[in-house]
C-alpha cells in the first residue's frame, strides 16, 4: 500500500514539474531584440533591448510597430542597431533611424517618426527615395531576408500581434 502511494506521488510530482516546464516554454518570448552595435561603449553588446512581449502590434500595411509601454521606447534611444532573434536563431538586423537624419540607409530600419511619435519598420530610410539604384538595392536586401521575415511575421501572428489593415 505504501509503495503504491509513494509511486503515485512520484508520478504526480513528475507530471507537475514537467507541466511547469511546458508552461514556462509557452510564456517565454520567442522574438528577442538585442543590441547589434559592437562599438557601443555605454551598453554591453548583445543586451536584450525588448522582446515580443513588449510589442503590442505590427501593422503590415503601414509598417507601424506599436510597443506595449513607453519604457521600450525610452530604451530604443540608446541604440544604433538591433538584431532580431527567434529563440536563438538570428533572423535579421536593422538600424534605428528618425525622420531628421540626413543619411541614407538601404536596408531594414526601425524609423522613429518624430512628427507623430510612431515607429515604422521600413525597407530603407528615407522611405520616399525613388531611384533605380536605391530601389533595386532595397529590393535585393528585402529578398535576402524574406525567409527570416516570414518567421518573424508568423511568430507575430501566433502571438496575436499581427495586423494586416
Those residues whose C-beta lies under 8 Å from the C-beta of residue 58, and which sit 6 or more positions away, are 64, 65, 66, 121, 153, 156, 161, 162, 163
State phi, psi for 91 to the nearest 5 degrees.
Answer: -95, -60
Question: What crossing angle do the helices spanning 132-144 and 146-158 adopt, rounded to 10°?
Answer: 60
The helix (run of H) or strand (run of E) holding residue 85 is strand 81-86
The rounded distance, in Å, linking the Cα atoms of 45 and 59 is 29
Contact criterion met (CB below 8 Å) for 92 and 152:
yes
pLDDT tens digits along 90-147: 999 999 999 999 999 999 999 999 999 999 999 999 988 888 878 899 999 999 999 9
The rounded distance, in Å, linking the Cα atoms of 103 and 137 is 16
Question: What mean pLDDT comes out for the span 22-32?
Answer: 68
Residue ranges of domains in the chain: 29-163
pTM given for the model: 0.78
Q: How many CB atoms lie within 10 A of CB 104?
A: 11
Q: Residue 6 corresponds to which cell in the numbers above?
A: 509513494
Amino acid at each position: 500500500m505504501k509503495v503504491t502511494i509513494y509511486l503515485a506521488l512520484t508520478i504526480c510530482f513528475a507530471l507537475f514539474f514537467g507541466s511547469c516546464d511546458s508552461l514556462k516554454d509557452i510564456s517565454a518570448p520567442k522574438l528577442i531584440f538585442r543590441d547589434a552595435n559592437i562599438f557601443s561603449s555605454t551598453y554591453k553588446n548583445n543586451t536584450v533591448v525588448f522582446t515580443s512581449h513588449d510589442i503590442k502590434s505590427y501593422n503590415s500595411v503601414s509598417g507601424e510597430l506599436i510597443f506595449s509601454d513607453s519604457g521600450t521606447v525610452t530604451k530604443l534611444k540608446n541604440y544604433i542597431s538591433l538584431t532580431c532573434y527567434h529563440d536563438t536563431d538570428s533572423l535579421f538586423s536593422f538600424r534605428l533611424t528618425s525622420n531628421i537624419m540626413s543619411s541614407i540607409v538601404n536596408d531594414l530600419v526601425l524609423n522613429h517618426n518624430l512628427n507623430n511619435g510612431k515607429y515604422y519598420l521600413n525597407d530603407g530610410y528615407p522611405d520616399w527615395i525613388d531611384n533605380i539604384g536605391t530601389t533595386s538595392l532595397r529590393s535585393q536586401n528585402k529578398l535576402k531576408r524574406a525567409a527570416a521575415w516570414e518567421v518573424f511575421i508568423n511568430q507575430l501572428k501566433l502571438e496575436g500581434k499581427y495586423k494586416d489593415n
